[in-house]
C-alpha cells in the first residue's frame, strides 16, 4: 500500500487555508493509504518563541486535527520532536544538499528578507522536511501549493543520496494537490497565512467569522450593489466553491453576475455553508479540550508507531553509509 506523509506547523488553531489546502484531504486519504501526519514542532523553532506558548500551540493543533476528522485508529498522528530520528536523518541529508538549492527556496528568500539576523535553521528547514518524508519511505505528500518547491528539493535530496551510495533506497515522493491548493487571505492580496493576519480560524464562533467575512475583499470592480460582478475574480466566490454545494455555487454566480445579490447577501450564504461543515468540528474540539488525556494518549501512541518505522529506516541508512 502506498504511504502518505504530511506535516503541519504547530501554529495553534488551524485556519481554513491549511484546512482546505491540506487537512481536509488528509482526512479522506487516511482511509485509502497508510498515512502519517506530524505536528512539526522542530520546524517551528527557527525564530523567536516562548516554550510555554509552543507547548500550548502544539496541543491546540492536535485538537484541531482530531476535531477535523484525523482518526488515530486509521492513521499515525504524532509530534515530530517525539521521534528524534527526524533530526538525525536531517543531518545526514545536509551532507548531500547543495547550499545553492537552499538559498533559492522562495520561502527562505521571503522569510530571510524580513529578518535582520538569519539563522542556519531557517535555511536548512527544507532538509528537515525531506527527512520527515524519507524516514517513512513516503510516496504521496498532500500539501498546498506553497510546499511544492520544498517537495521538489526533497526529491532532489533523495536522488542525490541514492546516487552517492549507488542504491535505490529512498523513495522519491510526489506532491498531491487539491483544487483548493491556494486559498487567498481575506484581504485578497496574499495567500491566507497566520503570519499575515488574514485568516479565518477553523474553530472561530459564527459571530467572529462574520466580523471577518463582512469586510472581506470581493470583486474590486463591483463598487455598488447594482454593479454586476465577475465571480471568477472574487475571493469570496472561491471560498464558496470550497464550502457550498454545486447548486449554491451556481446560484451565487448567477446572482452576482446579474447584480441580483449584493456582496453581503452572498457572504451570508457562505457563512451558512461554512457553519454546516465547521459547526460539528467546533463541537468535537470542545469535547477534546475537556478530555486532554485522550489527546495526549493519541499522540503518545502515534509517536511509538512512527518511531518503530523511523528507526528501522535510519538504521538501514546508517549501515549503508558506513556509520555505527
Ligand atoms: P504549514 O504548517 O505552513 O501548512 C500546513 C499545510 O497547509 C497548507 N496551506 C495552504 N493551502 C492552501 N492555501 C493556503 N492559504 C495555505 N496555507 C497553508 C500548506 O501547503 C501545508 O500543506 N513546511 C510545512 C510543514 C512540513 C511538511 C513536512 C509538509 C514539515 N515537514 C513534510 C509536508 C511534508 C509547513 O510549514 O506547512
Instruction: State pLDDT tens for residues 24-37.
Output: 999 999 999 999 99
Task: State which ligand 1 atom lies nearest to the alpha carbon of 180.
Answer: 12
Distance from C-alpha of 194 to C-alpha of 11, rounded to nearest angstrom = 8
* H/E segment holding residue 296: helix 292-321
pLDDT reported for residue 116: 85
Instruction: State pLDDT tens for residues 145-154.
Output: 999 999 999 9
User: Would you say residue 12 has pLDDT above 90?
Assistant: no
Residues at CB less than 6 angstroms from ligand 1: 5-9, 17-18, 21-22, 40, 43, 129, 132-133, 141, 143-144, 146-147, 150, 181-183, 191-193
Q: Which of 191, 212, 241, 318 is catalytic?
A: 191
191 is annotated as an active-site residue: yes
Cell matching residue 112: 530571510
Cell matching residue 223: 463598487
pLDDT reported for residue 132: 98
> In sequence order, what DSSP letters do the residues of 123-183 get, joined into one string?
HHHHHHHHHHHHHTT--EEE--GGGHHHHHHHHHHHHHHHHHTTS--SPPPEEE--TTS-P
Q: Is 190 helix (H, G, I), strand (E, B) or coil?
A: coil
pTM: 0.97
From 42, 147, 185, mutation site for ligand 1 pocket: most ligand atoms within 8 A of C-beta: 147
Instruction: State pLDDT tens for residues 258-315.
Output: 999 999 999 999 999 999 999 999 999 999 999 999 999 999 999 999 999 999 999 9
Distance from C-alpha of 106 to C-alpha of 86, rounded to nearest angstrom = 23
Q: What mean pLDDT do residues 119-141 have?
A: 97
Instruction: State pLDDT tens for residues 177-201.
Output: 999 999 999 999 999 999 889 999 9
Q: How far is CA 193 from CA 86, 199, 256, 322, in A?
A: 26, 6, 27, 43
194 is annotated as an active-site residue: yes
pLDDT reported for residue 258: 96
Q: What mean pLDDT do residues 167-182 have?
A: 96
What domains can be seen in the chain, in order of their start residue? 3-183+292-321 (3.40.50.620), 204-285 (1.10.240.10)
State what percent of residues in the chain have pLDDT above 90: 95
111 is annotated as an active-site residue: yes
Place of cell 469586510: 215
106 CB burial (10 A radius; 0-12, 13-18, 19+)? exposed
* H/E segment holding residue 86: helix 85-94
Task: State which ligand 1 atom lies nearest to the alpha carbon of 129.
Answer: 31
Amino acid at each position: 500500500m502506498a504511504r502518505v506523509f504530511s506535516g503541519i506547523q504547530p501554529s495553534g488553531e488551524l485556519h481554513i487555508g491549511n484546512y482546505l489546502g491540506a487537512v481536509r484531504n488528509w482526512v479522506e486519504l487516511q482511509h485509502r493509504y497508510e498515512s502519517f501526519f506530524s505536528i512539526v514542532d522542530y520546524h517551528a523553532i527557527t525564530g523567536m518563541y516562548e516554550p510555554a506558548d509552543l507547548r500550548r500551540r502544539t496541543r491546540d493543533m492536535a485538537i484541531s486535527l482530531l476535531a477535523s476528522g484525523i482518526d488515530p485508529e486509521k492513521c499515525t498522528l504524532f509530534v515530530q520532536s517525539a521521534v528524534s530520528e527526524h533530526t538525525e536523518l536531517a543531518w545526514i541529508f545536509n551532507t548531500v544538499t547543495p547550499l545553492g538549492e537552499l538559498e533559492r527556496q522562495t520561502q527562505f528568500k521571503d522569510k530571510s528578507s524580513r529578518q535582520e539576523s538569519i539563522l542556519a535553521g531557517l535555511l536548512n528547514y527544507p532538509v528537515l522536511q525531506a527527512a520527515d518524508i524519507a524516514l517513512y519511505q513516503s510516496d504521496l505528500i498532500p500539501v498546498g501549493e506553497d510546499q511544492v518547491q520544498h517537495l521538489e528539493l526533497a526529491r532532489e535530496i533523495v536522488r542525490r543520496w541514492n546516487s552517492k551510495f549507488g542504491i535505490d533506497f529512498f523513495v522519491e515522493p510526489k506532491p498531491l494537490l487539491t483544487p483548493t491548493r491556494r486559498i487567498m487571505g481575506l484581504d485578497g492580496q496574499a495567500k491566507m497565512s497566520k503570519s499575515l493576519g488574514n485568516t479565518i480560524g477553523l474553530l472561530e464562533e459564527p459571530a467572529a467569522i462574520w466580523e471577518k467575512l463582512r469586510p472581506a475583499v470581493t470583486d474590486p470592480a463591483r463598487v455598488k450593489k447594482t454593479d454586476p460582478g465577475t465571480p471568477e475574480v472574487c475571493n469570496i466566490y472561491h471560498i464558496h466553491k470550497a464550502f457550498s454545494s454545486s447548486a449554491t455555487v451556481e446560484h451565487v454566480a448567477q446572482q452576482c453576475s446579474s447584480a441580483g445579490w449584493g456582496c453581503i447577501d452572498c457572504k451570508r450564504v457562505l457563512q451558512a455553508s461554512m457553519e454546516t461543515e465547521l459547526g460539528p468540528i467546533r463541537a468535537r474540539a470542545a469535547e477534546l479540550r475537556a478530555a486532554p488525556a485522550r489527546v495526549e494518549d493519541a499522540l503518545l501512541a502515534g509517536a511509538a508507531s512512527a518511531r518503530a518505522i523511523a528507526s528501522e529506516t535510519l538504521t538501514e541508512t546508517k549501515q549503508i553509509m558506513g556509520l555505527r
